[in-house]
Amino acid sequence: MDGDATSLRQKMVAVLTQSAEPLTYRSLTKVIWESYPDFHQHMLSLYDGDPSEARRRMRIRMGIEVREHPEVFAATKVEGVVVVGLAATEDDAAIEVEEEKEQQEAGVAPAIYWYTFPAYKRSSGPYPIKIGKGANPEARIMQQVTPMPEKPEILGTYPHPDADNLEKAIQYLLKVRGRRKADAPGAEWFVTTPQEVLLAIQAVLGTDKPVS
């Protein structure tokens, strides 16, 4: 049956895997319904064709899936909005362990970093910037760009003990502002400015103090 819980969980996983980034429940519902029109019609038929009620019930069911399967899904609240993503895989966990080891060896807090390439950089206005995290930003960036013909330019770093969630929150904030670079591989490139990144950090941390 297209409406059973297992089927819904599989659809959620498929959509989130393809998205490669967290989605709000509303966006997740929209993409699932667009990707699985038969399931959309099934949900509507359950609630007399009322899309609002079908969406509300869908939200409840997805919430149950997230709550009952923490090994599969992870929910985070960003500026009062709940976003849902996939929980870390074994490979992700291995990377996190390695990063923690690097952090301990370096004796420094993990940090958010943002960088670009000279070919992208502009004297004014937005341009492509990648936002990531790591215990040693410079080393981490160089690992990523070894095949590139030019050296990256680190635009800024911001140490934070919970760099993982801070990174996700900043990226989500920029995404909902329409800054995501859609044609870039992965989900970490944004068409933005160094100043906007700093302001995003400030907004996520909920502080009026300038971040530098």
Q: In tens digits, what is the pLDDT along the chain, a chain of 212 residues? A: 344 444 788 888 888 877 777 889 999 999 999 888 889 999 999 999 999 999 999 999 999 988 888 878 888 877 778 888 887 554 554 555 565 565 556 566 788 999 988 888 888 899 999 998 887 777 777 766 554 556 888 999 999 888 888 998 999 999 999 998 876 656 788 999 999 999 999 999 987 766 76
Q: Between the CA of residue 3 and those of 10, 26, 41, what are the distances in Å?
A: 11, 18, 10
CATH 1.10.10 is the classification of domain 5-86: yes
Looking at residue 127, its pLDDT comes to: 92
Looking at residue 202, its pLDDT comes to: 92
The token duo for 131 is 């936002």
From first CA to last CA, the distance across the chain in angstroms is 54
Looking at residue 126, its pLDDT comes to: 94
Domain boundaries defined on the chain: 5-86, 90-205
Three-state SS letters, the chain: CCCCHHHHHHHHHHHHHHHCCCEEHHHHHHHHHHHCHHHHHHHHHHCCCCHHHHHHHHHHHHHHHHHHCCCCEEEEEECCEEEEEECCCHHHHHHHHHHHHHHHHHCCCCEEEEEECCCCCCCCCCEEEEEEEECCHHHHHHHHHCCCCCCCEEEEEEECCCHHHHHHHHHHHHHHCCCECCCCCCCCEEEECHHHHHHHHHHHHCCCCCCC
